[in-house]
Amino acid sequence: MEFVKMHGLGNDFIIVQTGSWEEAGDLQPYARMICDRNFGVGADGLVAIGKDPQMDIFMRIFNPDGSEAEMCGNAIRCVARYAYENGLVKEPNLSLRTLAGSRYPVVETSAGQVKNIKVDMGKPILKRSLIPVQGRGSNVKILLEASMGTIEATAVSMGNPHCIIFVDDINKIPVALWGAELEVHPFFPAKTNVEFVQILGRNEMIMRVFERGAGLTLACGTGACAALVAAVLNGFADRDARVHLPGGDLLIEWSQDDQHVYMTGPAEQVFQGSIDLQQIT
Ligand SMILES: N[C@@H](CCC[C@H](N)C(=O)O)C(=O)O
């Protein structure tokens, strides 16, 4: 199986082309081994893409624990760039089918070089039952009982679930320890991605993430979108901000006009190769 390895701010993916959405599902059992950094190629996700009958491209993403995620912001930018540069699409603006619905990336170029990819990530989902979060009431300022005490969190879905916790000093937070516990907190029936966010100003924040099914990663596109939405809902930020992640920065805007979230950032290919699937079973 031929693949390319790409990353968005160090959030890295093995990208393979398959014939159809259904065929992409055949790869799910291999995700755990392929993503393993010691026994496989190593990545934060296995991404299957191909031509879609209704949209330009489809994308399915499998986490390193073998589960399927509905959405992935950093992978979408990688897929858009790959599709544009490899002639799967002719125009820089694409339509992309995901498990969470359609998304619309635009590949931004300057002097013939790809600079950034801007993605219309759609409207955030704020209804508690749809995120999903157990119980009734608001998605803002949810109180979670955990071993570290009572945590105040805001839950947002960008197609996949996120639990955002605002902190005073990000460097004092044991992200791996707390993230692993909150990922499987009983309030989140589909588990959750966990983001710790320190607000630096109305338009700037630092974020660390513990991804559902993947653990600590250097960046999370949907997480950065969810963090900005949560910051706006809590009155901490304006509707556009630079989000600093361990792998670099994302620019996020929650549009007043259409209520969609827009994410802008880079995507890079780092190498290509082939995998003998029989060797890794
Ligand atoms: N890194 C991604 C999110 C990938 C999926 C996530 N692990 C999940 O299970 O929801 C991003 O950039 O959005």
Residues 135 and 241 occupy one common structural domain: yes
Domain coverage including residue 10: 2-120+266-280
Contacting residues for 187 by C-beta, under 8 A, at least 6 apart: 133, 134, 135, 142, 144
Kindly report the pTM of this predicted structure: 0.98
Residues 25 and 104 occupy one common structural domain: yes
Residues 93 and 167 occupy one common structural domain: no
Pocket test for ligand 1, best of 222, 225, 229, 263 (most atoms within 8 A of CB): 222
Residues 180 and 132 occupy one common structural domain: yes
3-state DSSP assignment of residue 250: strand
Residues 227 and 270 occupy one common structural domain: no
Convert the pLDDT of each residue in 259-281 to its tens digit: 999 999 999 999 999 999 988 76
Ligand 1 centroid to residue 74 C-alpha, Å: 8
CATH number (domain holding residue 163): 3.10.310.10
Ligand 1 centroid to residue 72 C-alpha, Å: 5
Phi first, then psi: what are they for 62, rounded to 5°?
-115, 130
Residues 154 and 271 occupy one common structural domain: no
Residues 116 and 132 occupy one common structural domain: no
Averaged confidence pLDDT in the chain: 98
3-state DSSP assignment of residue 40: coil
Residues 163 and 81 occupy one common structural domain: no
Convert the pLDDT of each residue in 78-105 to its tens digit: 999 999 999 999 999 999 999 999 999 9
For the record, the structure tokens of 18 come out as 């398959």
Reported ipTM: 0.99
* Active centre residues (catalytic): 72, 220
Residues 94 and 181 occupy one common structural domain: no
Convert the pLDDT of each residue in 98-121 to its tens digit: 999 999 999 999 999 999 999 999
Q: What's the domain count of the chain?
A: 2
Contacting residues for 252 by C-beta, under 8 A, at least 6 apart: 224, 225, 227, 228, 240, 241, 242, 243, 261, 262, 263, 264
Residues 202 and 274 occupy one common structural domain: no
Residues 87 and 146 occupy one common structural domain: no
Residues 254 and 276 occupy one common structural domain: no
